[in-house]
Amino acid sequence: MKSELFGTDGIRGPAGQFPIDEEGAWRFGLATARHMARGGGAVYLGRDTRPSGPALSAAVAEGIMAAGCDVIDLGVLPTPGIAQALAAHGGAAAVALSASHNAAPDNGFKLFGPGGEKVTAACERAIETLFWANEPVGAARGTLSPRPHAADEYVDFAVGTMPAGLSLRGLKVAVDCGHGATAYTTPTALARLGVDVVAINADDQGELINASCGSQHPAAVREAADRCGAALGLAHDGDGDRVVFVDEQRATVDGDRIIGLTAQAMARRGELDGQAVVGTVLSNIGLELWLREQGIALHRSRVGDRNVWLKMLELGAVIGGEPSGHLIFRRLLSTDDALLTAMQLLAVVAESGRPLCELAQQVALVPQAVKNVRVLAKPELEGLSPVSEAIAAGRALLNGHGRLIVRYSGTENLARIMAEGPDAGLLGQVVGFVETAFGVAGLATAAA
């Protein structure tokens, strides 16, 4: 049966199961080229380190070439680097093979249009229609051209975004590459800027991608920073579009605090157009209040980097992001980029002459309780008793002194529950009510 292929960030699922298998990859390549390259132009193709990547990449390339379109193969490269290659050199589209922060058995297809922007929902629907149409292939065939120095070109681009004359010499940073696509690019770029880099999980062992490491498991880089005596640590997810830090006191510095500190620095330099920043419905109220004190307005979008980007375009904002560590700096690139984000925050630290722990504590975040529940299906929450009743009861308990947000993940079979407010104990109680309700409704399989 046909179903919606695209989630909030491309198509994602278990590798080897349709559509994340060679047949689905070929169909995706063919449909993408037929829709995106109708007026000519090549399609850029890159991937992270997952074991399923080479075969899926080859199948996507075959589909693109079967549509008569040329392929430029970038090899292993962070997802934002793939988008940047398209933006820098021109072309019809770019495809990144990755399941982002998911474990190694998953993979997926992320799609970018001209300029390196995530494609629109309308574009996704058109490609999905072509994906299922299974129309015959013509005689014309495109070519495949490798671009062996793509990673170095991306590093050159990233290093070139730093303010002239700014040095990071003397700063020792532990970097967790999560066995993913940033294993070469982030350590190389930071070293060129003078950083003493101690890299962990910086290899091509894609079968270990995101496994107890990377941005979702900051304990790994925290321990590495302690071992090597690094001032700071930073961790990426598998495809390099998100980053979190650990500071000198080994506290985690998430996307909300990174947004706050970089926005404040941009405002001070006169670079924050409209004194506006874009977050999401999950952005901490503490960030909003702190930005307001700086004369900066926080505007909220729905969850997902594409939604953040669209809100940025609507408002003319130059910075936006999510608590998870996805940040977009519009003047630099049209998509979220973990390396650029890391460099921007390190620049703030260097310019201020103050430790990150001191800077981060300025952004006083309100307690949040978060729980992910793995679910069998994703029915509408409004009509799902007893979950809807638990949500109503939870909000009544908060009594106007907090927020409760329950939503389904757009990339995994998860229900995400977030409660926010001043009473941490009450938040845990509220989240527990809703988690239990998913079990009572027969949807929950296990805590994620």
pLDDT single digits (tens) 263-314 = 999 999 999 999 999 999 999 999 999 999 999 999 999 999 999 999 999 9
Q: Residue 235: left (phi > 0), alpha (psi -120 to 50), or beta?
A: beta
Q: What digits encode the pLDDT tens for the residues 326-336? A: 999 999 999 99
How confident is residue 410, by pLDDT bands cut at 50, 70 and 90?
Answer: confident
| Residue 128 and residue 40 in one domain | yes
Do 133 and 180 belong to one domain? no
> What's the domain range around 294?
253-337
Q: Is 100 a catalytic residue?
A: yes
Distance in angstroms (rounded) separating the CA atoms of residues 320 and 163: 20
Residues 22 and 139 in one domain: yes
CA angle 39, 40, 43 (to 5 degrees): 120
Say which residues have a Cβ less than 8 Å from residue 293's Cβ, sequence separation at least 6: none
Asked if residue 143 and residue 34 are part of one domain, the reply reads yes
CA 68 to CA 41: how far, in whole Å? Answer: 11
The CATH number covering residue 374 comes to 3.30.310.50
- 379 and 424 co-located in one domain: yes
- Quick one: pLDDT band at residue 3, thresholds 50, 70, 90? low
Is 171 a residue whose pLDDT tops 90?
Answer: yes
How far is CA 304 from each of CA 32, 61, 321, 430, rounded to the nearest angstrom? 22, 27, 9, 24
Flag whether 272 is in a domain. yes
Same domain, 261 and 229: no
Dump pLDDT digits (tens) for 384-394.
999 999 999 99
Q: Helix, strand, or coil here: 191?
A: helix
Q: Which amino acid is at 219?
A: A
| DSSP-derived 3-state class of residue 441 | coil
Domain shared by 257 and 185, yes or no: no
Strands 172-176 and 196-200: parallel
- Residue 7 is predicted with a pLDDT of 87
Q: Could you tell me if 308 and 377 lie in one domain?
A: no
Is the pTM higher than 0.85? The answer reads yes
Q: Are residues 269 and 231 in the same domain?
A: no
Residue 421's identity, in one-letter code, is: G
Q: Give me the pLDDT at residue 448, please.
A: 52
* Residues 115 and 18 both lie in one domain: yes
Does one domain contain both 30 and 83? yes
CATH of the domain at 56: 3.40.120.10
Catalytic residue among 52, 98, 100, 215: 100
